Amino acid sequence: MFFVINGPTNMALALQVVSSHHLGALDIEKALSVQEFLVKRLLPHAATEAEALKWSNCPRVFLLDGFSLNLTLGPLSSRLRTNSPGSRFLALLPSPRSDKSEMMLLFHCGIEGFVTLYEKWNRELPKAAMALLQGGLWVPSEVLLAFVKQMKTLLDRQLLAGQSLTAREGQLLQLLFRHFTNKEIARAS
């Protein structure tokens, strides 16, 4: 079960598949082709990090193929976010790597969506891409719950009895924990 939270909509973002496997990239693009709206937003796929970095200051939704890329997705998303602030990230994870702890780590790194490559992934992918374009998340509910529990534990340890954070301070703290840049935090207001 995936939990979707809607945030500020940015339907103007482009989509870019980052996959080192050409046929894998074509499969991902084919799965998105069921919605013409998504097809119109597709940039040419990037086979390497260097190709994805060529488009600097071009915020987009990156679809990171965790099956083909021989890179750690968390640091990769950080480098891409630095190069194109305002970008969002959807990780396509092979089943063995799609456990809760892996997703928690990637969520802390700022990846906002996850699709596990199982038999119905191609039906789920367009929904996940739309959720991210609409400013939302596409995260399993158990991952989101674990994140909230971690945040609460950290806050409880840091605050003195009787103290609390305002809603905005809490939001800022969550964005900081997820390694968002200052510009992205400023835009989140």
Q: Which pLDDT score is estimated for 167?
A: 77
Stretch 123-134: mean pLDDT, rounded?
95
Model-wide pTM > 0.85: no
Q: Which of 2-6, 30-34, 54-58, 180-184 comes out lowest in average pLDDT? A: 2-6
Identify the structural domains of the chain with CATH numbers, from first to last: 2-140 (3.40.50.2300), 144-187 (no CATH)
**Residue 63 forms beta bridges with which residues?**
17, 90
Residue 1 above 50 pLDDT? Answer: no
Half-sphere exposure of 124 (CA within 13 A, CB side): 20
State how far the alpha carbon of 28 is from the alpha carbons of 61, 68, 99, in Å: 13, 12, 21
Dump the DSSP string for 16-34. EEE-S-HHHHHHHHHHHTT
Residues 113, 121: Cα–Cα separation, whole Å: 13
